[in-house]
Structures are given as structure tokens and as C-alpha cells.
């Protein structure tokens, strides 16, 4: 029995499924999760001392790789000063100023502790500002585990026996309207029926929790136009794409300024974090200046704020994004020649899908080839045996980091090609 198997047997006695986030349990690929002790640059180490090339990167936050020296220096300094204060402090101010001065549509922001919390708070602001109750979301977009967002959502739910979670309140379900991605006609019909009741439409402008589903520019522009016409707010959930596809996120790629935006992952430098922000008049609805209440004991934790600022300072001039784009293009070129393997990529985010794909770009979950999750599972453990660590679910995306080299990219491509050839 390996050390990971021993630890997993113990973990099953103290935690549901032995894990603290569902996808870590390897349910989507089978077998026992690998317990990791740490990471360095582009590599992870497990409890048995084995190294893996990491293309999960903590599900996205580690755009600079594991153990980035400048982030580590900022964290150590923060720990020496005091790691939890519960007071006003200068560190969130510095990170907030850094973001607001560089992203025009974020005039005010509030730091929280997770992407879920950021989304939950942004939705509350939207309801408070509009006086409306309904929220429009899209099938295949994941916005965290707040009740109203756990409808046809993706992420760990993509592998669930049922499409939704148990335990959802009936009122939350009634107040959530779900529309398909990539369908302007269906979107117009939703607004025709519910337009006067919709407080906000929330979307991942680059859906990346149910595979990678790039949306057409025309679809995003139609959504922006319909929200304006009907007096609803537009919320872009950029927890994954924010500071990942560019410093200004997918908002800048699409050329669309949302009313509110949510962030997470990268802005904490690898520490727990979330943020929501947007137009000043909307954010001034938030307590203590407005009637929309939101609070958090550990919000704007000094360690996360200092780590995030150290990370964003390295990204701000855009040079690392150019490097990541080049590495992503290299990987895409290498994988394009693998038979029956469909690859989708935007910048340093990529997704591999095994099966017969009839369109150039998969944009909705309904376009997935039958059995693609099972085929991913069949190649997962052979890749793991070759020292390649990917997210343990066929519906999760992969991430490149600034720590990955051309040789690392080539090693992944060669391992995938060899593994698929044997399937």
C-alpha cells in the first residue's frame, strides 16, 4: 500500500469522501487521490517522494508556478508583521489601488475569502441596487456553491449523479433563471419573459469549469445589450479568467465593461481570496456606506493581500502573458496532431477532449462527444504514471504557468500522444 492510500483511508474517517473539495477525491477518474506534500516551480511532490509535472496549478491560482520567490518574500514579511489583524490595514489598500488604477470598470472593490463569497455578494448588490429578485445564469457556467448558482453549473457537479445539488432551498431555485450558452434566440426569449424581474445576468465570459467553452463575441455582446435594455446588471465572473488571460481579464478581450465583476485565485497569489467590484455607485450600496450587508472576519487577510500584490506586480507589464501565450500555442500545435484528441485553448488555459467532435469549437455542454469523461479517465492514470499531473476530472481545464518551460510543454504533449495511442 502506498503512503497516499494509507492517508486516504485515514481521511475517509474524518472528512466526507476524504477530501475538502469534491473533485480532489478522484471520483471522475477512479482510484485513490495522490497526497502531495509541496511543489516547486512547475512540479509537485507526493508523500512517497515522487515528482510530477503540474498542469493543474492548484486549479488556476499559481500562474507564476509553485514557490515564486517574490511572492514568498512578501508572505514571509507579512507573517513577521502579523498574519491576522481584524482591523483596517494598508495591505488591502495597496492591492485595491493597484487593481482599480489599472482596470477602469473596477472603481470600487471589496475583498472576501473565496470566489463563491465574491459571487454571492455581487448578486446581493445587484438585487439591492435594482430592487429585483431574479438572477439569470447560464448552463455550464459555475459560480461557486451558493444555493442559487448550483443549477446546471459544472465543476464538481458535472460528475454528480444529479445535475443539481441536494439541499437547495425552493425559493433560491425559483429565483434563478437558466439559459443555454451560445443561443441568442433563447436569450432574447428569457428577457422577453422575465426581463422586468431580472436583477442581474451572471456569466463566465470564458466558461472554464465545464470544459473550456469559448463564447462567440456576438453572444456576449447580445447579453450586454439585453441587460442594458431591460435594466438588469451584467456580472462577469472572472474568478478563473481574471488576471489569467490578460491583466484586465476577459473583459478586455471581449471589449465589454460589466457592471460588476468577481475575482479570486490569482489575486491572492495562491492564498484564499476573492473580490467583487464594479461601478462606484453600485459598490457604494455595500455596508457600511450602503444598505447591502456583507462582512468577513478574515476578509482582506494581510498575508493574502501581500501575496496577491507581489503576484500582480509581476504580471502588470504584460510580458509574462506573451510568454504564456507562446507556451500555450506550442502545446496546442503539438496536441493537434494526436488522433481523436480535441484541444481548446485560450492563452494559458487548455482543455483536452477525447472523442468525435463535429464542430471546430465546443461552446456548450450539449456538444460534448459521448463518453468523453470516461475516455479522459482511461488516460488519466497512465499519464500520472508518466509523471504528469492534470486535474482529476475530464470536465476541468488545465493551466500553464510562467514556471513551465518549452521542455515541460513538449513532455506533456509527448506523454499525451503516447498514452492516447495505446487506448
Write the pLDDT tens digit of every residue in 352-411.
999 989 899 999 999 999 999 999 999 999 999 999 999 999 999 999 999 999 999 999
Quickly state the pLDDT bin for 337 (edges 50, 70, 90). confident
What's the average model confidence in pLDDT over 59-71?
A: 98
Q: Report pLDDT for 164.
A: 61
Long-range CB pairs of 90-99 (<8 Å, 24+ gap) are 91/300, 91/302, 91/305, 91/306, 91/309, 92/300, 92/302, 92/305, 94/305, 94/309, 95/267, 95/305, 95/308, 95/309, 95/312, 98/309, 98/312, 98/313, 98/316, 99/267, 99/275, 99/277, 99/312
According to the CATH classification, is domain 69-315 in 3.10.20.30?
no
Domain with CATH 3.40.640.10 in the chain: 69-315
Which CATH code of 3.90.950.10, 3.30.70.270, 3.30.830.10, 3.90.1150.10 fits the domain covering 3-67+318-422? 3.90.1150.10
- Burial (CB < 10 A; 0-12, 13-18, 19+), residue 331, is buried
Please state the pTM of the whole predicted model. Answer: 0.95
Q: Which of the residues are catalytic? A: 142, 237, 265
Q: How many beta carbons lie within 10 A of that of residue 87, not counting itself?
A: 7
Write the pLDDT tens digit of every residue in 160-215.
434 466 766 777 778 899 999 999 999 999 999 999 999 999 999 999 999 999 99
Share of the chain above pLDDT 70, in %: 96
The mean predicted confidence, pLDDT, of the chain is 94
Per the listing, cell 435594455 goes with 229
What's the average model confidence in pLDDT over 50-55?
A: 98
Q: Is the pLDDT of residue 158 over 60?
A: no
What's the average model confidence in pLDDT over 244-265?
A: 98
Q: Is the pLDDT of residue 313 over 50?
A: yes
Residue 400 CA: distances (Å) to CA of 321, 324, 353: 11, 7, 17
Domain with CATH 3.90.1150.10 in the chain: 3-67+318-422
Amino acid at each position: 500500500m502506498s503512503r497516499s492510500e494509507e492517508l486516504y483511508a485515514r481521511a475517509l474517517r474524518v472528512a466526507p469522501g476524504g477530501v475538502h473539495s469534491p473533485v480532489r477525491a478522484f471520483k471522475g477518474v477512479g482510484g485513490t487521490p495522490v497526497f502531495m506534500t509541496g511543489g516547486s516551480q512547475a512540479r509537485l511532490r507526493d508523500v512517497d517522494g515522487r515528482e510530477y509535472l503540474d498542469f493543474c496549478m492548484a486549479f488556476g491560482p499559481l500562474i507564476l508556478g509553485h514557490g515564486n520567490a517574490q511572492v514568498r518574500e512578501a508572505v514571509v514579511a507579512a507573517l513577521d508583521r502579523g498574519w491576522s489583524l481584524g482591523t483596517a490595514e494598508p495591505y488591502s489598500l495597496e492591492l485595491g489601488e493597484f487593481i482599480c488604477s489599472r482596470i477602469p470598470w473596477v472603481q470600487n472593490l471589496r475583498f472576501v475569502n473565496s470566489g463563491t463569497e465574491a459571487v454571492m455578494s455581487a448578486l446581493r448588490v445587484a438585487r439591492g441596487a435594482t430592487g429585483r429578485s431574479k438572477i439569470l445564469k447560464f448552463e455550464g457556467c459555475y459560480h461557486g456553491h451558493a444555493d442559487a448558482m448550483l443549477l446546471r453549473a459544472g465543476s464538481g457537479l458535472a460528475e454528480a449523479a444529479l445535475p443539481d445539488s441536494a439541499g437547495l432551498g425552493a425559493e433560491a431555485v425559483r429565483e434563478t433563471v437558466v439559459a443555454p450558452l451560445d443561443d441568442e434566440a433563447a436569450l432574447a426569449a428569457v428577457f422577453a419573459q422575465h426581463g422586468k424581474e431580472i436583477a442581474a445576468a451572471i456569466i463566465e465570459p470564458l466558461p472554464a469549469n465545464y470544459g473550456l467553452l469559448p463564447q462567440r463575441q456576438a453572444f456576449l455582446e447580445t447579453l450586454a445589450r439585453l441587460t442594458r435594455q431591460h435594466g438588469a446588471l451584467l456580472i462577469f465572473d472572472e474568478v478563473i479568467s481574471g488576471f489569467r488571460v490578460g491583466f484586465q481579464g476577459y473583459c478586455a478581450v471581449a471589449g465589454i465593461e460589466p457592471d460588476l465583476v468577481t475575482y479570486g485565485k490569482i489575486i491572492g497569489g495562491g492564498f484564499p481570496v476573492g473580490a467583487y467590484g464594479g461601478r462606484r455607485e453600485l459598490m457604494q450600496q455595500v455596508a457600511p456606506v450602503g444598505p447591502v450587508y456583507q462582512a468577513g472576519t478574515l476578509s482582506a487577510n494581510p498575508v493574502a493581500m501581500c501575496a496577491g500584490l507581489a503576484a500582480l506586480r509581476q504580471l502588470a507589464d504584460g510580458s509574462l502573458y506573451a510568454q504564456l501565450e507562446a507556451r500555450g500555442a506550442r502545446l496546442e500545435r503539438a496536441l493537434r496532431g494526436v488522433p481523436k484528441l480535441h484541444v481548446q485553448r485560450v492563452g494559458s488555459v487548455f482543455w483536452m477532449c477525447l472523442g468525435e467532435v463535429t464542430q471546430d469549437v465546443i461552446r456548450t455542454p450539449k456538444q460534448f462527444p459521448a463518453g468523453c469523461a470516461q475516455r479522459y479517465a482511461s488516460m488519466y492514470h497512465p499519464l500520472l504514471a508518466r509523471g504528469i499531473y492534470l486535474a482529476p476530472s475530464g470536465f476541468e481545464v488545465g493551466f500553464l504557468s510562467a514556471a513551465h518551460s518549452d521542455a515541460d510543454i513538449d513532455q506533456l504533449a509527448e506523454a499525451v500522444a503516447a498514452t492516447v495511442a495505446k487506448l
